[in-house]
Amino acid sequence: MPFFSSEQKKTEEGDAAEASIAGALNGKLRSSMIKLCFAGLLAAASVFQILSLVQAVADGTQRVAKISQGLDVLSDVEAQSDGLEALILNAAPRHALADLAEREDAIANHLRLFQRSGAADLAPEHYTALRAQSEVLIDLARTAVFSAAAPEDLEALREGTVQFRQQVHLLQDSQSALTQAGFGGLAAETRSKVFLLILFLAGTLFLLSTVLITGFREMARRHEIERELMQAMAEVDEASKAKSRFLSTITHEIRTPLNAILGFSELLGREPLSPDQKQQVSRLNSAGRTLSRIVDDVLDLSRIEEGGLELRDEDFSPNELFREAIDLVSVHSQTKGLILSSEISANMPRLLRGDPLRLSQVLLNLLNNAIKFTEEGSVTLRVSSRIEDDTQEAKLRIEVQDSGIGIAPEDQERLFDRFAQIEEGMALQNNGGSGLGLAISQGLVRSMGGDLQVHSTPEEGATFWFYLTLPIVDGRSELPVEVPELSVLNAAAERVMLVDDSADTGDLIRRIMKREGIHVEVVTNPLDALNQVTDYDPDVILCDMQMPELSGVELTRRIRALPAPYCDVPVIAFSATSFSDEIEQMMLAGANAFLAKPFQINDLVAAISGVLADAGERYSARVAEKRDGHSFHELEEMVQLMGKSWVLKFITRLSDRLEASFKGSQSRSERMAMAHRVVAEAGQIGEKDLALAATSLEQALREGGDTSKQEARFRNEARAFLSRLPLFTLRIG
């Protein structure tokens, strides 16, 4: 039980771990997103502070620039007051008045420049006083000129000049004070903004570092969890592969001898036998087919649980199916001295449509269980039928009743679970089993649209029943009787090659084909099969998929890599496996058909006839061509395409290459290149044997092992080609 349940258990553990990882990661992701949002807000605030700081610095710089420009202008204004007294005393009145006018204009221009710079707005009172004092100064100077430098006017001019300069100095001092205040305010504002900026940046860095550290930790944790999850998934996968390998191996070991049993029993049934012997052979064959069905159903257990079971849809006789089921278990019931009976409804339709193999499997399991757990008394198969006229369907109630030990209520609850076995002493000691039967039966019944039920009382027996609704086929018709015909193979195939490591399978197929005069070449070692393909030249190849030395898949690939026409020989793969992926690999490798073991004679006949029919006229022509010995078809096509002269040169070049190969002076790489060229050149003119020998030689040289066998074969084919050169020349004309 642990073997089959480990896969499901580990899968559930993997799903739970994955859900836990997802929940933890979602929580961490939400926390990180919140932190990132706060970090984004702080970063935005930091950017705002940076912009505000830049603006403050720009404003302060602009203000200081205005003040500096105003101070320069005031220095120029003060310079205009220098030398007024000397000008009045030394210059002629006319020249003095002209100079005063220029100085008046200069002072006015400088004051206007001072005002335009914006510096006047910073100290408007001092600016107004300076402007008025400048006008007073000019008037005093003009009065002194007109009075011919009277002492009292010069004294007034001196006092006016002093007052003018004092007013300039007052304005300069106010501007300097404003400059100092501006620098101090700018520094204070800059410090506050820088502090806030540092605070915001620190908060941003803290949140980002927290997110990064948490992220790195979570990444490390996630990698660790993912590693654990991958390990768990790998264990699940390994358990699944182990289960598949186990089932594949065990079914192969069962089906291979089972195939021999069915095949030989069918051959024996074709011999002249007495009625009693025919009945025994028929029972043997029926039992073998039943065993084959059981093996198939065991393999389908996982598909049943996954809901992927494919049911057949074919016509069958329910009466015949029920009679066959009773007949198969009758020997067992007689051995135990039980009364085995059947009660089949009289209105049972002759033909129904459904899956008779699955229904038979369920019946046989229920009947065998009933006989197994009944020591005395009876076992009854009871089937009733109710016809639904409006839908042309029959609703069957099928039940198996026994008078055995019964089943306790607590055991009934888990009776249809996998590996379930009742715990009654006698049942456990004497009637143990795998515990798969009822689980498979329940799965099959549910797949067919029913539900297997049980009613039982300990020591009073048990009754298992289920309902099925099946379509009715024309009740007046009978099932067609298939008569196997082997004679159809005579015209289709003369030689069959079998590659199988089982001696029983080889003997069986040889006997089947021998009855119709068809020779079978049996190859038990797949490594020898490639040489046998070219030597024996079969019409059909039967290839087992599972062989120890070389798998059927790889062998088929190598056959398809051979030169034509050997690469076109139809290949029928057969195996005891029923896994779709393995069958798909075989078909992708180049197999034409698949045959599942155990197979009946008719199955083999149909497969061979089918692949030969698919090959068509093209294959038949190639077969006939091979029978003639050698073909000049490719050579004649080359002559038509390239001309006689070119083909003669081509053949001469190939013959020279072959003669040079006999000298033995070539290195391994040179001989590999020579063989590679011969493969292409020989193939173009239809020399398939030479091309095949060159291919084998090239491969052996590439692998670096012993090439003596390949060298000998290549030399023989090369000599044979050289001996036919006159014939080539004659054919070319």
* CATH number of 548's domain: 3.40.50.2300
Name the band, by pLDDT with cuts 50, 70 and 90, for residue 14. low
Question: Is the pLDDT confidence value at 434 over 60?
Answer: no
Q: Are residues 51 and 156 in the same domain?
A: yes
What value does the mean pLDDT take over residues 393-403?
Answer: 93
CB under 8 A, 24+ apart: contacts of 474-480:
474/351, 475/349, 475/350, 475/351, 476/350, 477/350, 477/351, 478/317, 478/350, 478/351, 479/315, 479/316, 479/317, 479/320, 479/351
Phi and psi angles of residue 185, each rounded to the nearest 5 degrees, phi first: -65, -40
Residues 6+ apart with CB under 8 A from 687: 717, 721
Distance CA 444, CA 447 (A): 5
Bond prior to 565 in cis (omega within 30° of 0): yes
Question: Is the pLDDT confidence value at 217 over 60?
Answer: yes
Distance CA 599, CA 260 (A): 9
pLDDT value of residue 622: 45
Cα distance between the two ends of the chain = 78
Q: Are residues 573 and 647 in the same domain?
A: no
Both tokens of residue 120? 């006047």
Rounded alpha-carbon distances, angstroms, from residue 614 to 515, 611, 625: 24, 5, 18
Assess contact for 241 and 568: CB atoms under 8 A: no
What value does the mean pLDDT take over residues 189-215?
Answer: 76
What value does the mean pLDDT take over residues 627-641?
Answer: 59
On whether residue 257 sits in a domain, the answer given is no
SS3 of 403, please? Answer: coil
Question: Is the pLDDT confidence value at 494 over 80?
Answer: no
- Report the candidate in 76, 63, 152 with the shortest Cα–Cα distance to residue 113: 76
- Residue 373 exposure: Cα atoms within 13 Å on the Cβ side: 29
SS3 of 707, please? Answer: coil
- Report the candidate in 359, 393, 387 with the shortest Cα–Cα distance to residue 471: 393
**90-100 in b/e burial notation, b at 16+ Cβ within 10 A?**
eeeeeebeebb
Q: Are residues 658 and 587 in the same domain?
A: no
- Report the candidate in 615, 576, 610, 568 with the shortest Cα–Cα distance to residue 593: 610
The sign one gets for the Cα dihedral 503, 505, 511, 514 is negative
Q: Are residues 289 and 405 in the same domain?
A: yes
SS3 of 543, please? Answer: strand
- Residue 530 exposure: Cα atoms within 13 Å on the Cβ side: 17
| H or E segment and range at residue 226 | helix 151-269
The conformational region for residue 130 under phi > 0 = left, psi -120 to 50 = alpha, else beta, is alpha
On whether residue 254 sits in a domain, the answer given is no
Q: Are residues 335 and 466 in the same domain?
A: yes
pLDDT value of residue 714: 85
Q: How many CB atoms lie within 10 A of CB 687?
A: 27
Both tokens of residue 703? 């692998």
Question: Is the pLDDT confidence value at 721 over 50?
Answer: yes
Name the band, by pLDDT with cuts 50, 70 and 90, for residue 632. low
Angle between helices 318-336 and 275-299 (to 10 degrees): 100
Question: What distance lies between CA 352 and its chain's CA centroid?
Answer: 43
Phi and psi angles of residue 266, each rounded to the nearest 5 degrees, phi first: -70, -40
- Residue 18 exposure: Cα atoms within 13 Å on the Cβ side: 11
Q: Are residues 441 and 298 in the same domain?
A: yes
Amino acid at 5: S
Phi and psi angles of residue 632, each rounded to the nearest 5 degrees, phi first: -110, 20
Q: Are residues 670 and 597 in the same domain?
A: no
Amino acid at 416: F
Distance CA 149, CA 392 (A): 148
SS3 of 354, please? Answer: strand
Distance CA 487, CA 482 (A): 15
Angle between helices 708-723 and 688-703 (to 10 degrees): 150
On whether residue 75 sits in a domain, the answer given is yes
Higher model confidence: residue 658 or residue 297? Answer: 658
Question: Is the pLDDT confidence value at 383 over 90?
Answer: yes
pLDDT value of residue 401: 94
Query: Beta strands 453-456 and 462-471: pairing type?
Result: antiparallel
Assess contact for 443 and 305: CB atoms under 8 A: yes
Q: Are residues 567 and 716 in the same domain?
A: no
Distance CA 24, CA 26 (A): 5
State percent of the chain over pLDDT 70: 72
DSSP class of residue 624? H
Least confident range from 209-213, 552-556, 633-637, 676-680: namely 633-637
Assess contact for 607 and 618: CB atoms under 8 A: no
pLDDT value of residue 207: 73
Which of 234, 269, 296 terminates a domain? The answer is 234
Q: Are residues 163 and 73 in the same domain?
A: yes
Distance CA 522, CA 237 (A): 38
Least confident range from 197-211, 235-249, 394-408, 502-516: namely 235-249
Phi and psi angles of residue 374, each rounded to the nearest 5 degrees, phi first: -120, 120
Residues 563-605: pLDDT tens digits? Answer: 877 888 889 988 766 566 677 788 888 888 888 777 777 778 7
Question: Is the pLDDT confidence value at 400 over 80?
Answer: yes
Name the band, by pLDDT with cuts 50, 70 and 90, for residue 128. confident
- Report the candidate in 260, 313, 302, 309 with the shortest Cα–Cα distance to residue 285: 260
Distance CA 697, CA 701 (A): 6
The sign one gets for the Cα dihedral 73, 74, 80, 83 is negative
Amino acid at 555: L
Name the band, by pLDDT with cuts 50, 70 and 90, for residue 427. very low
Overall residue count recorded for the chain in this entry: 733
Query: Beta strands 462-471 and 393-402: pairing type?
Result: antiparallel
On whether residue 476 sits in a domain, the answer given is no
On whether residue 240 sits in a domain, the answer given is no
Both tokens of residue 526? 């797949």
Which residues face 462 on adjacent strands? 402, 456
- Structure pTM? 0.41
Give the number of domains in the chain.
Answer: 4
SS3 of 495, please? Answer: strand
Average pLDDT along the chain: 75
**Tokens 């083999």 belong to which residue?**
604
pLDDT value of residue 366: 93
pLDDT value of residue 451: 92
- Report the candidate in 580, 600, 588, 604 with the shortest Cα–Cα distance to residue 554: 588
- Residue 512 exposure: Cα atoms within 13 Å on the Cβ side: 27
DSSP class of residue 402? E
On whether residue 390 sits in a domain, the answer given is yes
Distance CA 128, CA 171 (A): 10
Distance CA 5, CA 236 (A): 11
Q: Are residues 500 and 572 in the same domain?
A: yes
Higher model confidence: residue 489 or residue 717? Answer: 717
Q: Are residues 128 and 200 in the same domain?
A: yes
Assess contact for 357 and 416: CB atoms under 8 A: no
Q: Are residues 167 and 297 in the same domain?
A: no
Q: From the CA atom positions of the chain, what is the Rg in Å?
A: 55
Distance CA 195, CA 50 (A): 11
On whether residue 376 sits in a domain, the answer given is yes
Assess contact for 391 and 469: CB atoms under 8 A: no
Question: Is the pLDDT confidence value at 85 over 80?
Answer: no
Amino acid at 607: A
For residue 438, give its domain range.
277-471
Amino acid at 249: T
- Cα maximum dimension of the chain: 176
What value does the mean pLDDT take over residues 98-113?
Answer: 76
Name the band, by pLDDT with cuts 50, 70 and 90, for residue 411. confident
Which residues face 548 on adjacent strands? none
Which of 420, 446, 471 terminates a domain? The answer is 471
pLDDT value of residue 84: 63
- Report the candidate in 236, 365, 307, 293 with the shortest Cα–Cα distance to residue 578: 293
